[in-house]
Structure 1
């Protein structure tokens, strides 16, 4: 018997979920265009180039399902499915991040939050440039973050990490 479109695409999403590397829940997502063609899939797991979890932090700390996702290192299936179509456009690109205080108009240090780091690390961007310390802009190759700081997924890149970052070969 031929499944209807909803059953068909949900069965594909369930199959995509089998690729998940999450130790707690496995999800898959499928994005379909208006003509019924699959344009992207995604599953939950670690950002590209980051080691898979060996233990689930949220499970160890008895965090109920559906709460405190910022404590999880994983990128959700929905996010991955949405990211894939734009990956090619980001290849070897650089993200420039800057900000200012709305009230004073003064420039401020700009650092991605933990949730944004997960997405940034899952793209093929080469580097991120920002005013991290003082008035001199800096460029940090993302391969350094992926290689040396896997905990960035949970903790974010702190100012301390930027202080310790060796810029001599980046």
Structure 2
């Protein structure tokens, strides 16, 4: 794991900075009312798939349904993910790769926020070998699994 999204010296971004900035654009597609997250799977400096957080294809967004169910129930951030209508950005990136027959082994995940434990398990099984993130997410189990 690496928090490699911070700008280095000089005007030209490093590869990590480059992909992290693309993640920011991907995150702007998110429909989650609580957190906008973008993710990119990369291998050999080539983008394999992207993902952002939002409900499954064809289902209505929380904003269209009157708000976030977890927020209405008073569920703190990082807990009870099974109550959320949305897929996480990391999950959507893995799903997009699978739908298009793109192998994810030996890839790097660039993501705007540290993955939760649900996503960490999927990333491990998808063969992701490196994770570069910008924002921390308080999930001790995830940090332990990805160490």
Band of TM-score, shorter chain: 0.5 to 0.7
Tell me how far apart the structure 1 counterparts of residues 21 and 68 of structure 2 sit (CA, whole Å): 27
What corresponds to 1:27 in structure 2?
A: 37
Tell me how far apart the structure 2 counterparts of residues 17 and 25 of structure 1 sit (CA, whole Å): 9
Tell me how far apart the structure 2 counterparts of residues 62 and 8 of structure 1 sit (CA, whole Å): 37
Q: Deviation at 1:88?
A: 3.7
What corresponds to 1:84 in structure 2?
A: 96
Moved over 4 A (4+): none
Tell me how far apart the structure 1 counterparts of residues 77 and 97 of structure 2 sit (CA, whole Å): 29
Task: State yes or no: 1:38 paired with 2:47.
Answer: yes
Gaps of 5+ in 2: 1-10, 102-117, 119-147
RMSD of Structure 2 on Structure 1 (CA): 1.4
Tell me how far apart the structure 1 counterparts of residues 38 and 51 of structure 2 sit (CA, whole Å): 6
Gaps of 5+ in 1: 90-114, 116-170
Tell me how far apart the structure 2 counterparts of residues 16 and 39 of structure 1 sit (CA, whole Å): 14
**Which is greater in Rg?**
1
Count of residue pairs brought into register by the alignment: 89
Q: Secondary structure at the match of 1:38?
A: strand
Q: Say which structure, 1 or 2, has more relative contact order (CA 8 Å, 6+ apart).
A: 2
